[in-house]
Structures are given as structure tokens and as C-alpha cells.
A and B are shown apart, each in its own frame.
Chain A
Amino acid sequence: QVQLVQSAGEVKKPGASVKVSCKAFGYNLNTYGITWVRQAPGQGLEWMAWISTYNGDTKFAHKFQDRVSMTTETSTRTVYMELRSLRSDDTAVYYCGREFCDGDRCYLPDYWGQGTLVTVSS
């Protein structure tokens, strides 16, 4: 069955970078991409970025396009999301999700990872 398993939580200092992984099971990576969504404490869901695990195409929310990068390691079916220049307001639970995109349009995730808490604190 479809499953996404994320890496464990991390504590980082302001200005540092964090890399979160998402390992995919149970479906064809050529058909769906991986999206990253975060939820800060007491806040709502925030869509960050998407990567095609087929050809590496990416889409970004404007506020993240300069600080987020994503890579796919096809051999291990793992997607990595790196967020740079961390600030205290980046403290959040980061979720990966399986998302189908058709050309310029995406349909939002159907399956989700368990979430990774990233805490940014000096």
C-alpha cells in the first residue's frame, strides 16, 4: 500500500539549514510527485513546493523559492527537502505528500507522511 515515511525531528540554530527526507513505498514514482506542506504551531497548513520524481521538475510557493531545494534519489525512492537560512518562524511540522500534477496544474496530496518537527532555536 502507499506509504510515506519521513525522517526524525531536528533542532537547528537560526541561519542553519535542515534536510528532511521522505521515503515512498507502494506506488509508481513516475506517476506522482512529492509535495512539502508545513504547519507552524497554532497555524494552518502551508503549501511549500513540489518535485516531480519522474523528471525533477519543480514548483514553488513564491516565499520559498529562494530557500528551498529538493532532490530525488530514485534508487532508494527517497525525496529530500532542504530549507536554508532558518529562522525561528520556520519552526513547524513539515509533511511530505504524494501529489499528482498534470502539466501546469496539481491536485493536492492524497497520501501523507507522518510529519517531521523542525525546531529553530538559539
Chain B
Amino acid sequence: KNQVEQSPQSLIILEGKNCTLQCNYTVSPFSNLRWYKQDTGRGPVSLTIMTFSENTKSNGRYTATLDADTKQSSLHITASQLSDSASYICVVSAEGNTPLVFGKGTRLSVIA
């Protein structure tokens, strides 16, 4: 069964600190992996997308990594800001005409 598991479930960090969120997946055959940011009461917004051949992708202070062999990905946030407080969702796509598989997300709270 195609699944995406994320950890931790929630995280609280001080403003300015770094953090890393984890994603494990069993989706097969793998096509691509995306990280989305979802603010409270809003729809998800795409941060990064990585295919099988890519092992790192950056978008400003966000850096995603992918290990297709171990089926793991991480999202690293550098110098966190209060506006980073949101849920971060790992989404995996299988090859072909199949639905996206969403993780439950990690709820990040950045406090002053």
C-alpha cells in the first residue's frame, strides 16, 4: 500500500534556529516527491519538487533532500522565522495516472 509517513508530528523551535523534518515513503514506482507548506486555514503551497535523479533541491531557506534508495526525504529550514509556522506536508507521486499520496504533515511552531 502506498504510504507517506512524516516525523515529528509537531515541533516547536525558537526564532532563528534551524530544524529538519523527515519523510519516509513506500510509494512505488516512484516518480517525484514534493514538499508543501500549509498555513492554518489555507491551501497547501508547493516548496520543492524532486525526481528520482535529484538528491537535493533548495528554495530560499528551505532545502529538501531525497534518498531514493532508502525512500527517505528531509526538509531543512535555516534561520527560522515566525512566518515559517505552518504544517509541512510531504507528497509523493507514483508513475502513471495515479493520485498524489499525502503525509499527515509536521506542524511547526516558531516562537520568539
- Do A and B form a real pair? no
Contact surface of A with B, Cβ cutoff 8 Å:
none
Contact surface of B with A, Cβ cutoff 8 Å:
none
